[in-house]
Amino acid sequence: MNHYQESVYLQGHIIDSLVLAKVLDLILMMGGTFDLEDVHIGKTREEPSHARIRIRTTSRALLDDILRKIQPHGASIEREADCRTDRAPADGVLPDNFYATTHLPTQIRLNGQWLDVDQIEMDLAIAVSETRSVAQAVPMGEVRQGDQIVVGREGVRVIPLRRPQERDVFGFMESQVSAERPHGHIITDIATRMSQLRERHSQGQADSRVLLAGGPAIIHAGGREALTWLIEQGFVHTLFCGNALAAHDMEADLYGTSLGYGLTAGRAVPHGHEHHLRTINRIRTIGSIKAAVTSGIIKQGIMAACVRHGVPVIMSGTIRDDGPLPGVITDSVQAQRAMRALIPGVGLALLVASTLHSVATGNLLPATVPTVCVDVNPSVPTKLADRGSFQAVGLVMDAASFLSELARCLGRPT
Amino acid sequence: MSRLLVCPPDYFGIEYEINPWMRLTNRVDHGRAIRQWHELMHVFEHDLGVVLERMTPIPGLPDLVFTANAGIVVGRTAVVSRFRYPERQREEAYFESWFRGHGYEVMTVEAGLHFEGAGDLLGFPEYCFGGYRQRSDIRIFPVLSERFHQEIIPLELVDSRFYHLDTCLCPLSGGELLYFSAAFDSYGRTAIAERVPDKLRLAVPEDEALKFACNAVCVGKHVVLPTGCPTTQAWLRIRGYETHAVQLDEFMKSGGSAKCLALALD
């Protein structure tokens, strides 16, 4: 990504003289890129035009070279100011006029230097360390009285996403979601990414973890085996879900049903509606899902695979949960905190068959993380794809079909 | 144009080198220079019928003779030049005091910006061209444009031998243009071509450009230019101009010719 940038201002009769064209050509020929901002073209011959050009490069040296080359053509560097900060007036309260973040890479200017904001996420504030050397996105609820919080817009800049270099579905998506679109090649591209990420993850490389956030429809629809296989094969490295996915996964293991329906028979079994409650009760008796797996009570399935392969699971509770299972975080602020803690290092997010968990996870993800949202309800992938990221891919399809096809592409025997 | 500011060449000579034409070893024949200058003044006064305002020459300022670089005059306002080279910066105070002494409102250029007057700003009644990069800064043009409500199209000068715009471009009273295309880059050439149609443009041949054919003074249907530019003269005559060729080779030793030696006052 082009992290070095500077804004320059060009004014005068820059259109007819082709001075603007020359400056833009120079930037490109030297290997920089630019965004034209605030272009105003004079309406009469006398009225001058002006343009604000944001130049981006891959190195400081190249940026300096470009600035040196274009300054004789009238490009003046915009006077930039440090960002302003105010102290948080109380715990959990931001100062008035706090800067609200986007999910795009963001920098703030401190002591004349541009500094990356760590752990960027939408709808947060930016806290600056006492030494003024570190900036981090911070949720409102996590702010402590006296924290230095960025206020106003001065000295804050957001770096738009570039289209990824990979020529796959993530590079070409136009944030359109359609049930009519063929899914095959999209799933193939996702599989290719996952294959590469597994390789990178095994080498301990950064941003190589695959996060899956899923709902219980994965179990109901018959995607349990495929997802279990993906976890066992090392393609999924973090799981976000709720009480239900875990409960029905283990219900399937103990009773062969999901919410009382026989998964193989395909019909309701007598007293089947009790199965998930009995399952939850059983795990509560044992004390934890991990103990249930290690003791051999729970033998197969998604939770078992996660325990055996050390895949961290964050289970966030909801108001209608039964039980809940041990380990479900019922305080939603704490649940959000736990999910947030596992976001750094994620290189691909699969949000499957869950409106609540998909949206919650999507809100936590920086725009730079490629994201796939799969749901039979088009409104969910549409909502996620509308986050303004080139890298958000929406698929309107059944969870089980998606996971089965994905697993097949990754080598699962059929 | 009825009045021109000029400065007699009493102290003209080559005392430094600030352009590729100047060679300290290339001595100016002083008597000859004076004769050439008077010949030019004679043409101005008698053939063109203009009024000359003569500055007092100053010892130690050999280039004061090139009054085109004093600044620009718009109505009763004079924008005094701010020279790029220290050798000529000493002229600024003299030009400024001449303008003030003659009732002009003086506008100075902000510090850090260079502007070399009518040497780099010339054009037609509807718009001007501004030469930059060699001497003047491009950033002066928006300032002047706003102050005088005049469109100024900047043109980069890419050949150091044509260090001022008036050495390679000359707008004429009938809308025609003399210019030496190699003194501009492709952007500049395109900008010129967009404004001045083919048939009104003469791309001066290189040998005549090097004799400063473009450093010509046009008053009405008269054009005063250096000798040795037959192609340019022939084209001008076809276009209905009366040409006056004056031998000015002593001044070419400093990189100046007819146009450099005069500043239009009104």
A315 and A246 Cβ atoms separated by less than 8 Å = yes
Contact A17 B191 (CB under 8 A): yes
pLDDT at residue number A177: 61
Cβ-based neighbour number of residue A340 at 10 Å: 18
Query: Is residue A163 domain-resident?
Result: no
* Residue in A closest to B153 by C-alpha: A17
| A178 in the same domain as A286 | yes
| A140 in the same domain as A182 | no
Contact A45 B151 (CB under 8 A): yes
Query: Is residue A397 domain-resident?
Result: yes
pLDDT at residue number A273: 85
**Structural domain boundaries enclosing A400:** 169-409
Measuring CA to CA, how many Å separate A25 from each of A28, A43, B43, B184, B191? Answer: 5, 24, 46, 17, 16
Of residues B7, B114, B128, B164, which has the active-site annotation? Answer: B164
Kindly indicate the confidence band of residue A55, based on its pLDDT and cuts at 50, 70 and 90: very high
Lowest mean pLDDT among A202-216, A218-232, A276-290, A390-404: A390-404
String of DSSP letters for B8-37: --TT-S--S--STT--TTS---HHHHHHHH
Closest by alpha carbon to A404, among A183, A255, A244?
Answer: A183
Structural domain ending residue among the three candidates A77, A108, A131: A77
Structural domain ending residue among the three candidates A38, A54, A77: A77
Query: Is residue A341 domain-resident?
Result: yes
Give the pLDDT of chain B (266 residues) as one tens digit per residue. Answer: 589 999 999 999 999 999 999 999 999 999 999 999 999 999 999 999 999 999 999 999 999 999 999 999 999 999 999 999 999 999 999 999 999 999 999 999 988 899 999 999 999 999 999 999 999 999 999 999 989 999 999 999 999 999 999 999 999 999 999 999 999 999 999 999 999 999 999 999 999 999 999 999 999 999 999 999 999 999 999 999 999 999 999 999 999 999 999 999 98
Query: Is residue A338 domain-resident?
Result: yes
Best to test chain A binding among B120, B135, B136, B153 (most A CBs inside 10 Å): B153
Distance CA A126, CA A132 (A): 12
Measuring CA to CA, how many Å separate B216 from each of A29, B45, B181, B242, B252? Answer: 37, 16, 16, 12, 13
The C-alpha angle A206, A211, A217, rounded to 5 degrees, equals 170
Give catalytic status of residue B30 as yes or no.
Answer: no
Distance CA A295, CA A360 (A): 33
Distance CA B32, CA B133 (A): 33
Closest by alpha carbon to A240, among A104, A130, A353?
Answer: A353
Q: In this predicted model, what pLDDT tens digit does every residue of A299-340 receive, in sequence order?
A: 999 999 999 999 999 999 999 999 999 999 999 999 999 999
Number of structural domains (chain A) is 3
| A358 in the same domain as A337 | yes
pLDDT at residue number A162: 61
Query: Is residue A414 domain-resident?
Result: no
Candidate from A18, A46, A74 with C-beta closest to B191: A18
Cβ-based neighbour number of residue A180 at 10 Å: 5
B229 and B207 Cβ atoms separated by less than 8 Å = no
Q: With contacts defined as CB-CB under 8 Å, which chain A residues touch B142?
A: 11-13, 48, 74
State both tokens at A275: 């199965």
By the CB < 8 Å criterion, does A382 face chain B?
no
* Contacting residues for A41 by C-beta, under 8 A, at least 6 apart: A15, A49
B81 and B71 Cβ atoms separated by less than 8 Å = yes
Phi, psi angles (nearest 5°) of residue B174: -90, 10
Query: Is residue A44 domain-resident?
Result: yes
| A90 in the same domain as A227 | no
Burial annotation B194-230 (CB, 10 A radius, 16+ → b, else e):
ebbeeeebbbbeeebbbbbbbbbbbbeebbbbbebbe
pLDDT at residue number A388: 55
3-state SS assignment for residue B113: coil
Walk me through the domains of chain B, giving residue ranges and CATH numbers. 3-264 (3.75.10.10)
Q: What residues does A85 pair with on adjacent strands?
A: A150
CATH code of A56's domain: 3.30.70.2690
Cβ-based neighbour number of residue A38 at 10 Å: 11
N-terminal to C-terminal alpha carbon distance within chain A? 40
* Residue in A closest to B149 by C-alpha: A46
| A249 in the same domain as A181 | yes
CATH code of A138's domain: 2.40.420.10
By the CB < 8 Å criterion, does B146 face chain A?
yes
* Contacting residues for A42 by C-beta, under 8 A, at least 6 apart: A13, A15, A48, A49
| A310 in the same domain as A206 | yes
Over range A22-39, report the average pLDDT: 92
CATH code of A332's domain: 3.40.50.10690
| A46 in the same domain as A90 | no
Mean residue pLDDT across chain A: 90
How far apart are the CA of B88 and the nearest CA of chain A, in angstroms?
21
| A316 in the same domain as A200 | yes
| A196 in the same domain as A137 | no
* H or E element, residue B99: helix B92-101
Query: Is residue A73 domain-resident?
Result: yes
Q: In this predicted model, what pLDDT tens digit does every residue of B222-245 receive, in sequence order?
A: 999 999 999 999 999 999 999 999
Q: At what angle do helices A399-409 and A224-232 cross, to 10 degrees?
A: 40
* Contacting residues for A320 by C-beta, under 8 A, at least 6 apart: none
Q: What residues does A395 pair with on adjacent strands?
A: A374
Burial of A50 per CB tally in 10 Å (0-12, 13-18, 19+): middle
Burial of A169 per CB tally in 10 Å (0-12, 13-18, 19+): buried
Contact B142 A17 (CB under 8 A): no
| A373 in the same domain as A264 | yes
Q: What is the DSSP letter of B45?
A: I
Give catalytic status of residue B170 as yes or no.
Answer: no
Over range A253-270, report the average pLDDT: 81
B262 and B242 Cβ atoms separated by less than 8 Å = no
Structural domain ending residue among the three candidates A77, A99, A114: A77
Q: With contacts defined as CB-CB under 8 Å, which chain A residues touch B185?
A: 22
Q: In this predicted model, what pLDDT tens digit does every residue of B177-190 receive, in sequence order?
A: 999 999 999 999 99
| A139 in the same domain as A50 | no
| A356 in the same domain as A234 | yes
